Structure 1
Amino acid sequence: MKYQIVLLSLIVSLSGCGQRNASNGNIQEEKPGTAVTLTHVAFGKIEKEIILSATTVYQNKSVVGSPIPAFITEVLIQPGSRVKAGDILYRIESKEQHALGNGNHAVIPIKAERDGIVLDVQQQSGSYVTEGTVLCSVAEVESLVFEINVPYEQQRYAYSGSKCMLELPDGTRLAATVHAPLATMNTVSQSERVIARAKAPFLPEGMNLKAIFAENNASSKGMILSKSAVQSDETLTEHWVMKLADDSTAVRVPVEIGNSNVSEIEIKSTTLSPQDLIILTGGYGLEEGAKVVVTQEKAAL
């Protein structure tokens, strides 16, 4: 009888463990889906972009130097100051006057020769300078140009009269026109310098930026998607998107891509339609048949 009671207790205990395990299994199966946002394909075309490097240059600059050996008594400018012809930039006194040590010594004004903007200030008040020492340099604002480095094999894009977009480091874009190539070529990179002009705010000389040319043979109108929706393997040879098969299931759809720009990419495949719900964000790393939760649906591009 005692053995029967022990056996019965053991069976009840094992049964309880099985129920708990089954319950735990059910909990594990009920994992929440991955949060995603959705988009649709749109119709349009993207021009292929050729990106070259460019630099800001002021073609007309005047260097202001000291006419005599002197001490600088006052500096009236700073980098970025706008000046007009005749404005006083510096005041200096000769070393002979300075040696007298009285308060009535003659001061010599150094004036701007033309309108412009001060690029740099190389000497400060109290400094002693010799004759010809550079005090500052002034550039004509209207003489700002953009020197584009054009590899020889890409000269067909940057010819006189061609258009491009200049992208500044902060992302601002300026419409520019190519004017003429310079008669020099970099012997190492075999690139030619080409001058472009654009309506621009004051920019410092020597700023590096991008010159973006659109290739003329743009593809015909087709489907385009946000780049965020397109995934690829490590070698960039295979591309795919994740779309919804139903309200909560994601499936992988291989696609063939075409031209692209900063934010969009062409889809050449015929496996997608405007009605498909494409995962825009949250789709990275999802497996075939993964469960998802839609948090927001975004309009087509």
Structure 2
Amino acid sequence: MFGIIMFLFSSCVNNAPEVTADAPLTVTPVEVTGVTDSAMNDYIDISAVSAYLEKSFVKANINGYVEKANIKLGQQVGRGQLLFSLITKEARSIGNTVNKLDPNFKFSGVSVISADGMGIVVQVNHQKGDYVQDGEAMATISNRNSLVFLLDLPYELNQIISGNQNLNVILPDGVELSGMVSGTMPAVDSLAQTQRYIIKVNAKKDIPEGLIAKVRLTKSAHPKARILPKSAILSNEIEDEFWVMKLINDSTAIKVIVEKGIEGAGSVEILKPIFSKTDRIIKTGNYGLADTAKVKIQKKP
């Protein structure tokens, strides 16, 4: 009986799994970066609407019929260009008869209307054959050089406009126009509490009236901001805590809480702590890393 027990015990010992060393820790491949000093601006984008301040109205100079209309919507016209030809009702009925009686009289009863200046036709009210009265508006021409953007600025931001006399106007298609504040209206909208500013732009192409663009106003300038790439900044789910993973040696990264400043297109200003330019911060491979993580630096090809 004792022999059987010893045999079974010996078999269990022989079949027991061998005790191995602890499994190696996970090593995450990462890429690192460092802080750099660069100028950054804290700005705000506010909508503005395009408008032509100068519009001229083409008016009839007699009572009569439109004999010719050399004008159409969207047409660019020059100073002195013929737009309309008008003929009186009497001239239409008796003009040919008078000329037959006396060819030297050369009676026509036709009056021409020409453009007073250069511009774009934005409205046409009458066409050939229409009857018009003296002084009646026949068309509207916008002066293309009078293009501006109207910015309705909340009054609480009026202090920053003095530092933004030269600014950028960003169109919906991404085109940026340089502009400057050329005037302001001496009144505030009682409901919206906004004050209207007139922004003159240098446009190399025709811009339609009523186009909504963005005007970028600088709130504050940081000429020597200490920045990191956005990919290096991690946060919790509610984004009330931010941190980076900093290398303390070639294979270990620790979690460091940071305080952010302003943000740019792909970078973030770091206010605290003050990193040195020799500090190595993980920019890729940092997501999900625990504090005091094992990492392996990937060399750039």
TM over 0.5: yes
Alpha-carbon distance between aligned partners in 2 of 1:69 and 1:292, rounded to the nearest angstrom: 89
Of the three residues 211, 214, 220, the one matched with 1:210 is 214
Q: 2:57 & 2:283 partners in 1: Cα distance?
A: 55
Partner of 1:224: 227
Contact 1:54 1:147 (8 Å CA) reproduced: yes
Q: How does 1:248-263 map to 2 (within 5 A)?
A: 251-263=254-266
Q: Distance in 1 between matches of 2:275 and 2:131?
A: 75
Check conservation: 2:185, 2:195, Cα contact below 8 A. yes
SS of residue in 2 equivalent to 1:47:
strand
User: Structure 2 vs 1, CA of residues 160 and 270 (structure 1 numbering), >3 Å: closer, same or farther?
Assistant: closer
TM-score, normalisation: structure 1: 0.65
The residue number in structure 2 matching 1:196 is 199
| Superposition deviation, residue 250 in structure 1 | 5.0
Write out per-residue CA displacement over residues 34-60 of structure 1, whole angstroms, 9 at most, x where no aligned residue. Answer: 6x6543210134232233222211101
Spell out the pairing of 1:1-301 with structure 2 (5 A cutoff).
33=28, 37-64=31-58, 77-79=72-74, 81-88=75-82, 111-118=114-121, 120=122, 131=132, 137-159=140-162, 162-202=165-205, 203-216=207-220, 218-219=221-222, 221-244=224-247, 251-270=254-273, 272-281=275-284, 283-288=286-291, 289=293, 291=295, 294=298, 296=300
* Structure 2, unpaired ranges of 5+: 1-7, 90-108
Distance in 2 of aligned mates of 1:241 and 1:63? 64
Unaligned runs of 5+ in 1: 1-6, 96-105
**Residue pair 2:73, 2:124 contacting (<8 A) in 1 also:** no
Distance in structure 1 (CA, Å) of the matches to 2:161 and 2:202: 18
In structure 2, do the counterparts of structure 1 residues 70 and 232 end up closer, same or farther at CA, with 3 Å as the change threshold? farther
1:6-45 CA distances to partner (integer Å, 9 max, x unpaired)? x9xx99xx88xx79xx9xx98xx898946x6543210134
Aligned partners of 1:33, 1:185: CA distance in 2, in Å?
Answer: 59
Q: Does the 8 Å contact 1:255/1:271 carry over to 2?
A: no
RMSD of Structure 2 on Structure 1 (CA): 4.7
- Kept in 1: contact 2:66–2:132 (CA 8 A): no
Identical pairs, percent? 29
TM-score, with normalisation over the residues of structure 2?
Answer: 0.65
Tell me the distance in 2 between the aligned counterparts of 1:137 and 1:86: 15
Deviates more, 1:203-212 or 1:274-283: 274-283
Q: Which amino acid aligns with 1:59?
A: L
**Count of residue pairs the alignment pairs up:** 267
Task: Tell me the SS of whatever aligns to 1:268.
Answer: strand
